[in-house]
Amino acid sequence: MEDVKPHEYTLLNEIAQDSMVTQAGLAEHLGIAVGSVNWYIKRLVQRGWIKVSHLDRTRLKYDLTSRGMRVFTQRAILYARDSLKVYAGLRQKATELVAQLKGEGIGEVYIGTNDEPMDIMRLTCLEQGVRVSPSPVAVRLVSVAQGFQAIYEIQEGESD
Residue 79 within a domain = no
* Average pLDDT over every residue of 9-30: 91
Would the pTM count as exceeding 0.95?
A: no
Do 102 and 135 have their domain in common?
Answer: yes
Co-location of 138 and 95 in the same domain: yes
The tally of domains found in the chain comes to: 2
Q: Say whether pLDDT at 94 is over 90.
A: yes
Q: Classify residue 50: in a domain, yes or no.
A: yes
| pLDDT, mean over the chain | 90
Are both 51 and 100 inside the same structural domain? Answer: no
**Residue 49 DSSP label:** S
Sign of the torsion formed by the C-alpha atoms of 104, 108, 114 and 117:
positive
pLDDT at position 160 is: 47
Name the domain boundary from 64, 79, 97: 64
- Per the domain annotation, does 94 fall within a domain? yes
Backbone angles phi, psi at 18, to 5 degrees: -150, 100
The CA-atom distances, in angstroms, between 75 and each of 46, 62, 67, 80 are 19, 20, 12, 9
Within 10 A of 89 (CB to CB), how many other CB atoms are there?
13
pLDDT of residue 156: 56
Full residue range of the structural domain in which residue 99 is found:
88-152
Same domain, 56 and 98: no
- Same domain (yes/no): 59, 99: no
Same domain, yes or no: 56 and 92: no
Instruction: Specify whether 92 is located in the same domain as 59.
Output: no
| 17 belongs to a structural domain | yes
CA pair distance 137, 94, nearest whole angstrom = 19
Task: Look at 102 and 59; give whichever has higher pLDDT.
Answer: 102
Domain termination site, one of 30, 48, 64: 64
pLDDT tens digit sequence for 30-59: 899 999 999 999 999 999 999 999 988 888
